Amino acid sequence: MKRVFGTLLKRRERTLERTVVEIQRGNEALRNELIEQYKPFIAKTASSVCKRFIREEDDEASIGLIAFNEAIEKYAPHKGGSFLSFAELLIKRRLIDYIRKEARMRDAVWHVENGENSEQAAQTYLDAKLSVDEFYRQIEQEQRREEILHYQQVLKQFGIHFHDLVEQSPKHKDARLNAIRVAQLLVENEHLVHLLFQKKQLPIKQLEAMASVSRKTIERNRKYIIAIAVILAGDYIYLKDYIKGVLSS
């Protein structure tokens, strides 16, 4: 009895993130236990994407389970953010990829079966395609919002808020590009990334030795560099597009 209560106590003390790390170290029994425990969460997440109730035998449920397991493999606790928010993002992305693939296949079948002869069929096809496009737009909006919320949570661990970035972002294009390049140098160095997320501070001394900018410039743009580094080191699809836009403009 004492052993049982001791085990239960240890399980309560173990956070979800620590559980994931333990699984990554090879505890397969714990992996199966965690997946079984979070099946309702996976189904709920899948339902929010598909806009209908997802049963365990549905393909979407299987894709959700695979994505949840992928999240277990890829989650990096030192990069900030909760495991569940990371898993939710990944499940939704994999389901959207699946829905798009299915839609492309249906398009191909429609063209084979109907050709271009039926005006009524063509209009039906067009209406269905517009509905699918609107669905994608809504889902991507939701994904973008959730990605930003996750990003805000991570930035808070560094004592940074969005209004700080608005006020302290470099005003000139060249200064922004230099700050982004410093962030890129940081992310390319595994040791510096670890220091950044462990100490929640920018490793200014090491960056000064690596980058062709002054210490004063790095310190002045500290919050912006951290914010960009968090995006580059994390799983942020839409925010990374923003950085690509800045670099290509």
- Which of 103-112, 138-147, 197-206 is predicted most confidently? 197-206
Q: Give the separation between CA 120 and CA 111, rounded to whole angstroms.
A: 14
| pLDDT at residue 132 is higher than 90 | no
Give the residue-averaged pLDDT of 7-30: 74
| Cβ atoms within 10 Å of 19's Cβ, excluding its own | 19
Say if CB 177 and CB 207 are below 8 A apart. no
Structure pTM? 0.58
Give φ, ψ of 54 to 5 degrees.
-105, 120
User: For residue range 198-225, what is the model confidence (pLDDT) as tens digits?
Assistant: 889 899 989 988 888 889 999 999 999 9
- Band (67; pLDDT cuts 50, 70, 90): very high
| pLDDT at residue 248 is higher than 50 | yes
Q: What's the chain's average pLDDT?
A: 79
Integer-rounded Cα radius of gyration of the chain: 23
CA 113 and chain centroid, separation: 39
The per-residue pLDDT for 109 is 47
Weakest mean pLDDT among 53-57, 128-132, 134-138, 178-182: 128-132
| pLDDT at residue 108 is higher than 50 | no
As to burial, measured by CB atoms within 10 angstroms (0-12 exposed, 13-18 middle, 19+ buried), residue 175 is: middle
Give the residue-averaged pLDDT of 88-94: 86
The widest CA-to-CA distance across the chain, in whole angstroms, is: 76
- Band (38; pLDDT cuts 50, 70, 90): very high
Going from N- to C-terminal start, the domains of the chain cover 2-156, 162-248
Q: Give the separation between CA 141 and CA 203, rounded to whole angstroms.
A: 35
| pLDDT at residue 33 is higher than 90 | yes
